[in-house]
């Protein structure tokens, strides 16, 4: 129910299906578990449901 509100009206990216196994392995190798995780959708006027360009900065 919240998807209809959060994604198109508020412009929020929802990362519920992200594969974070590689990020977890990189964090374990560095013994550091705090990251800045950001996601920017495609810059398309009126576009909804675009793939999020997720990036984790260690």
**pLDDT number for residue 28:** 95
Alpha-carbon distance of 36 to 30, in angstroms, equals: 15
**pLDDT number for residue 44:** 80
Q: 37 phi and psi, to 5 degrees? A: -105, 125
Q: Which regions in the chain score pLDDT beneath 50? A: none
Alpha-carbon distance of 8 to 15, in angstroms, equals: 15
How far are the Cα atoms of 6, 11, 17, 33, 38 from residue 30, in angstroms, in the given order?
A: 34, 33, 24, 8, 20
Task: Quote the tokens at residue 40.
Answer: 């920017």
**pLDDT number for residue 25:** 95
């Amino acid at each position: 129910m919240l998807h209809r509100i959060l994604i198109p009206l508020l412009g929020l990216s929802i990362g519920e299906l992200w594969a974070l196994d590689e990020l977890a392995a990189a964090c374990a190798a560095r013994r550091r578990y705090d990251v800045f995780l950001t996601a920017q959708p495609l810059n398309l006027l009126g576009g909804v449901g675009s793939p999020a360009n997720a990036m984790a900065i260690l």
